[in-house]
Amino acid sequence: MDVRIGIVQSMKELDVELPDDADRAQVLADIEAALAEDGRILWLTDRKGRQVGVPVGKVAYVEVDPPSTDRRVGFGVS
């Protein structure tokens, strides 16, 4: 699962690849809890075990990939 975080006053995004077995609902809950309190740091652990911390006051947006069952490949008609 990929999580992209936009940083205030920065043109670049922070892209964190979480482990394949990461619980999507828990990740979303952790992000929401961190963003609800100013002054906190949002901590995520990537596939290689590295921890990434972002001060929530600097977060412009967070984008989380859809569940793998929602991904489509090629051309399709909805």
The band of 55, judged by pLDDT with boundaries at 50, 70 and 90, is very high
In the predicted model, is pLDDT for residue 69 greater than 60?
no
Residue 34 identity (one-letter amino acid): A
Number of domains into which the chain is organized: 1
Would you say residue 24 lies in a domain?
yes
Read off the CATH number of the domain in which 28 is found.
2.30.30
Which runs of consecutive H residues, i.e. helices, occur in 15-64? 24-36
> pLDDT tens, 3-54?
999 999 988 899 999 998 889 999 999 999 999 988 899 999 999 999 999 9
Evaluate whether residue 41 is within a structural domain.
Answer: yes
Residue 7 lies in a domain: yes
User: Residue 46's closest CA among 18, 65, 72, 27?
Assistant: 18
Q: In the prediction, which pLDDT does 37 show?
A: 87
- Tell whether 75 is covered by a domain: no
Its pTM stands at 0.77
Question: Can you give the residue range of the structural domain that contains 31?
Answer: 2-67
Q: How far apart are CA 3 and CA 42, in angstroms?
A: 12
Question: Does a structural domain hold residue 72?
Answer: no
Q: Is 15 among the domain residues?
A: yes
What is residue 76's predicted lDDT score, i.e. its pLDDT? 60
Q: Which amino acid, residue 5?
A: I
CA distance 30 to 64: 12
